[in-house]
Amino acid sequence: LGALAAMPALGVSRDPNGVNVNSQGATTVFITFGGLVEQVPVENVWCGALMPAAPDIGFRCDPATVFGRLPLRFDQSRLSAGGSVFTDIMSIPPSVARRAYQAAERGETSSFFYVRRFESTVGGPDEYVFVTCRLAGGGARVPLALLDVRLAFEVDETVASVARGGELSRFSAEISYNGTGRLRGRWEVVLPGDSPPETRDLLTEATLPPAERPLQRRFTLVDRFNVFLPPTGHVVLPGPDPSRLPTEGDGLYQILLRVEASDDKEGDSNLNRAEAGEGIVHTGAVAGFPLPTLRYFVGTEGGLRAALAQGALALLAPAADSAATAGKPLDFSWSVARNVGLYRVEFSPLQGDAKVVFSALLQQGIGSYRAPAFVWDHVGGDGLKWRVVALGLDGEVIAETEWRPLRRGA
């Protein structure tokens, strides 16, 4: 097994080629694949044993030992450098770790494999490249990764409401993680009228390829943090002093937790060894999901607060029967409900029975959508109706709002 793990890939290289993973839960690891030549990634599998992939290249999973595949909602992978470099965020679900641990208990090897298949775009053979996963605890020898993040106000408000010039209650981030190291970053606020953050803006910096990291949008800075995470797996990160949050203007605000990449010897990726460039990519605080946000209203939203405090799905803005301002972006926002995988924003003509003529899918943690101007062409007439449908992790509908009318402005 040791000789197999040390063998280099014939064409595509990777780093790291072996990692320690949590035997009792999830693990997330940043992996760089380099040297792709007219190839694209098409499959990822975890398994307990490998076998020659002939007539293809490398070693593929023995079908009898497959533990699972990467869930689509955790796929944050990215091609870069003209398609020659592939950044892969390997998010091992607890179910895979449990199957690997059970196999080890039966006397099988205490390591397993993550195999990426690369398909030739010019009719050549496929290439299989593996990374060895060694079962360990979730402590100091496992890459520093965020596994779950929950933002909350002390008064249990998903969306708070405050009068103009008032002060919000305190809030914090409850974080589950693997590994140990520095957690550093920023608290930022999205002001009313700002273009809302996109999904890639909500990823931690360590989740992105190096070239994409400077492209993340920045918003109004509130405070910075830099704390040490011991190998205990859980921390509560206090938010900044609430008096520093802007409340001068009416509207919807979003509080963002922006986590920067830190040094992590257990998970850093060596570009030279991956044949993907030069230097070390720091990957401390990698995460396989966009971080959630907190929302607060400045103004009068008393009737809505009670529903939101219970985690209900509710439309926030624009208000019912309001008029869109001509020449201004069409921004829609809603509360973030629990146990949601995706949100579907639907639009219908204002008159008659609801008939969806345009829709958009947003990942959990977003809670807002800027519609393109051509949505008016789809609905026609003098207005539209819109609603939000919450989809579960398996794609099933778990909640939906009422339709809300919006008139076309002059």
The Cα 197–Cα 137 span in angstroms is 35
| Model confidence pLDDT, tens digit, residues 254-298 | 899 999 999 988 889 999 999 999 999 999 999 998 999 988 888
pLDDT band for position 410 (50/70/90)? low
pTM exceeds 0.85, yes or no = no
Kindly report the average pLDDT of the chain as a whole number: 88
What DSSP string runs through 93-146? -HHHHHHHHHHHHTTS-SEEEEEEEEEETTS---EEEEEEEEEE-SSTTS--EE
**Beta strand 127-136 with 57-61: parallel, antiparallel or unpaired?**
parallel
Q: What is the DSSP secondary structure assignment for residue 24, as one 8-state letter?
A: T
pLDDT band for position 307 (50/70/90)? very low
Q: In the prediction, which pLDDT does 306 show?
A: 41
pLDDT, mean of residues 305-309: 43
Q: At 223, list the tokens.
A: 């405070």
Are 213 and 200 spatial neighbours (Cβ–Cβ below 8 Å)? no
Topology of domain 2-136, CATH: Immunoglobulin-like (2.60.40)
pLDDT band for position 398 (50/70/90)? confident
The Cα 228–Cα 226 span in angstroms is 7
pLDDT, mean of residues 214-238: 96
> Has residue 3 got a pLDDT over 50?
no
Poorest-confidence range of 19-23, 303-307, 319-323? 303-307
pLDDT, mean of residues 318-332: 81
Spatial strand order of the sheet with 145-153 comes to 234-238, 171-178, 145-153, 286-287
State whether the Cα torsion 343-348-351-352 is positive or negative.
negative
Tell me the H-state helices in 259-406: 302-309, 375-379
pLDDT, mean of residues 228-241: 96
CATH of domain 311-407: 2.60.40.10
Same fold, 2-136 and 311-407: yes
| Model confidence pLDDT, tens digit, residues 29-43 | 999 999 999 999 998
Q: In the prediction, which pLDDT does 409 show?
A: 75
The percent of residues above 70 in pLDDT, for the chain, comes to 91
A 10 A CB-CB count for 47 gives 23
> Has residue 311 got a pLDDT over 60?
no
Tell me the H-state helices in 159-227: none
A 10 A CB-CB count for 162 gives 18
What b/e sequence results for 361-395 when a residue is b if at least 16 CB atoms lie within 10 Å of its CB, and e otherwise? ebebbbbbbebeeeebebbeeebbbbbbbbbeeee
pLDDT, mean of residues 96-114: 94
Going from N- to C-terminal start, the domains of the chain cover: 2-136, 145-296, 311-407
Which residue would you say has higher pLDDT here, 161 or 175? 175
A 10 A CB-CB count for 326 gives 8
The Cα 132–Cα 126 span in angstroms is 20
